[in-house]
Each structure stands twice: as structure tokens, then as C-alpha cells.
């Protein structure tokens, strides 16, 4: 039987996005390269849904075993950190250190490439994790938490290809430069997925509010990273994902 090339391409893109954005044992194809990330970027929200489901399952199991909302929320957050290898948290910390601690563009980029973490990075991580865990604990109800986690992880990752288009790579090497810009059809699919995810799991009005705030976050990050370092990097993309999660979880509280 002949394999449908459209389905095969979709499966490959999903596999590429999940393999890149998580630590799940899903090998990328031999021909995959960093440049394939732009092509697969439409599937970033699908990888996010996978992460959200793992966090949601952890919360539900913890809650079922009698844990209160706060420890259940912390365990849920820990599960998402493990499954992603702290990929986006690392980007947030590096971005905070670079933007906060560097005086020049070159120094900021140098700090962002340094594997050591500084005060700005530590503070950014603490704030991010406290807000996310606090939001989940405040939601409390396992059903609502499941919906909020899927919405947060799925839609937050839909913002990444838009920043890849709005802001040029800040370096002439590195992941962002190698990946390039997603095509317009990839952006359209990612945007539609974000709208569907937010509408289904947050509801029409909260979903619309979250969508507007996410768009504002993308625009603000594009302006900020261009002003600070002349464009975006993989770390900046990770920082945007963290901001997106926080925005959606806070909307879910209302």
C-alpha cells in the first residue's frame, strides 16, 4: 500500500517537534536537521499537549492519592520539568541573566551562552514556578486543572513560530539561525491550533482573552529581544513559552 505523503509529512513533523521539545524517546529521522524545526513548528502545540497531559495525569494521580492541591500542583510541575528536560526554563533563566546582567549586545549574548546561572535567572525561575504552581493549586479541581494544563502547554508553544518570524536570529550561528523562519502556512496552522486549544479547554471568552494576551506577549518579546540583542535566540523562545504558560494559567483562574 502506498503511503499518503501528506500524512507521512504530518507524522514526521509531529515526531520532530515532540523529539525536540521533550525528552520522550522518540527518535528524529536520520534526515532531520535543525532547519526541519521551522517546517515542524506548526506541530509545537501538539508537543505541548503531550506535555500538558503528562502534567495533568500527575496532578490527578496525586489528588486521587489524597494529596492536597499544593503538593499535587508541585508534583505536576515537576513532571513537566522532567519530560521537557527543563528546556524552556533554561531559556527563561538565560534570557533573564543576559538581558538583566549585560551592558552591551555582545555581553548579553555571551552571558546567555554561559552554562552558569546568575541572580536574574534564579529569580526568574522562582517567580515562574511559584506562579504556575500557585495557579494550579488555586484551581484545585482536577478536571479544571487538566483543561488548564493542556491549554497552557499547547497554546504557549504555538507562539514560538510567530516570534521566529517577527524577530530575526540574533546570532549568525546557533539553533535559531539554523532553523530559519517558518513558512506562512506553518504559522496559520499553529495559530488555528492555538485558537482551537484555547477555545476547547478554557472556553470561548477566556480563550479569546488568553489569545489576545498571547499575541501581546509575542509582540512585546519581539520588541524586547530586538532592542536587547538584535533578535531572537533559542533561549528567548524558551522564555516566551514560559510567559505564555503563565498568562494562560492566570486567565484560567477567572
Residue 246 lies in a domain: yes
Residue 179 lies in a domain: yes
Average pLDDT over residues 220-236: 97
The count of domains in the chain is: 1
Per the CB < 8 A criterion, the answer to whether 101 and 92 are in contact is no
Question: What SS3 state is found at 53?
Answer: helix
pLDDT-derived band at 2 (thresholds 50, 70, 90) equals very low
Q: Which triple of cell numbers denotes residue 242?
A: 514560559
Q: Which triple of cell numbers denotes residue 133?
A: 504552581
Average pLDDT, the chain: 94
- pLDDT for residue 157 is more than 50: yes
Distance CA 191, CA 197 (A): 10
Per the CB < 8 A criterion, the answer to whether 223 and 235 are in contact is no
Average pLDDT over residues 188-211: 98
Which DSSP string do the residues of 165-208 spell out, in sequence order? HHS-BSSSSSHHHHH-PPPHHHHHHHHHHHHHHHHHHH-HHHHH
Identify the bridge partners of residue 169 per DSSP, sorted by sequence position.
232
- Supply the pLDDT for residue 1: 41
Q: What is the percent of the chain with per-residue pLDDT over 70, rounded to a whole number?
A: 96
Residue 9 lies in a domain: yes
- Supply the pLDDT for residue 180: 81
- pLDDT for residue 183 is more than 50: yes
What interhelical angle do 234-252 and 204-229 show, nearest 10?
A: 150
- Supply the pLDDT for residue 172: 83
Residue 78 lies in a domain: yes
Distance CA 155, CA 152 (A): 6
Distance CA 204, CA 218 (A): 21
Give tens-digit pLDDT for 10-38.
999 999 999 999 999 987 654 556 668 88
Nearest Cα to Cα of residue 210 among 220, 198, 222: 198
Q: Which triple of cell numbers denotes residue 232?
A: 531572537
Worst-scoring range by mean pLDDT, 12-16, 144-148, 177-181, 249-253?
A: 177-181
pLDDT-derived band at 233 (thresholds 50, 70, 90) equals very high
Residue 29 lies in a domain: no
- Its pTM stands at 0.94
Domain enclosing residue 127, as ranges: 5-24+34-252
Identify the bridge partners of residue 253 per DSSP, sorted by sequence position.
none
Give 166's Cβ-side CA count (13 Å radius).
Answer: 22
Q: What is the percent of the chain with per-residue pLDDT over 90, rounded to a whole number?
A: 86
Residue 15 lies in a domain: yes
Amino acid at each position: 500500500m502506498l503511503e499518503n505523503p501528506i500524512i507521512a509529512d504530518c507524522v514526521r513533523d509531529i515526531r520532530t517537534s515532540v523529539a525536540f521539545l521533550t525528552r520522550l524517546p522518540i527518535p528524529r529521522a536520520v534526515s532531520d536537521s535543525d532547519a526541519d524545526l521551522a517546517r515542524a513548528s506548526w506541530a509545537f502545540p501538539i508537543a505541548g499537549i503531550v506535555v500538558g497531559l503528562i502534567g495533568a495525569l500527575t496532578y490527578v494521580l496525586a489528588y486521587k492519592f489524597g494529596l492536597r492541591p499544593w503538593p499535587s500542583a508541585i508534583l505536576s510541575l515537576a513532571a513537566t520539568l522532567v519530560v521537557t528536560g527543563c528546556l524552556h526554563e533554561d531559556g527563561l533563566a538565560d534570557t533573564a541573566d543576559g538581558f538583566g546582567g549585560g551592558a552591551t549586545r555582545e555581553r548579553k549574548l555571551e552571558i546567555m551562552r554561559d552554562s552558569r546561572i546568575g541572580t536574574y535567572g534564579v529569580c526568574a525561575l522562582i517567580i515562574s514556578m511559584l506562579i504556575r504552581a500557585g495557579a494550579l493549586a488555586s484551581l484545585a479541581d482536577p478536571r479544571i486543572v487538566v483543561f488548564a494544563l493542556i491549554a497552557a502547554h499547547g497554546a504557549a508553544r504555538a507562539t514560538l513560530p510567530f516570534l521566529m518570524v517577527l524577530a530575526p536570529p540574533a546570532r549568525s550561528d546557533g539553533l535559531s539561525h539554523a532553523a530559519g523562519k517558518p513558512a506562512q502556512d506553518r504559522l496559520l496552522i499553529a495559530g488555528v491550533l492555538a485558537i482551537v486549544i484555547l477555545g476547547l479547554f478554557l472556553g470561548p471568552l477566556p480563550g479569546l482573552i488568553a489569545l489576545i494576551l498571547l499575541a501581546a506577549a509575542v509582540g512585546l518579546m519581539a520588541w524586547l529581544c530586538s532592542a536587547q540583542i538584535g533578535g531572537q535566540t533559542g533561549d528567548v523562545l524558551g522564555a516566551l513559552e514560559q510567559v505564555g504558560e503563565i498568562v494562560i494559567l492566570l486567565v484560567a483562574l477567572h
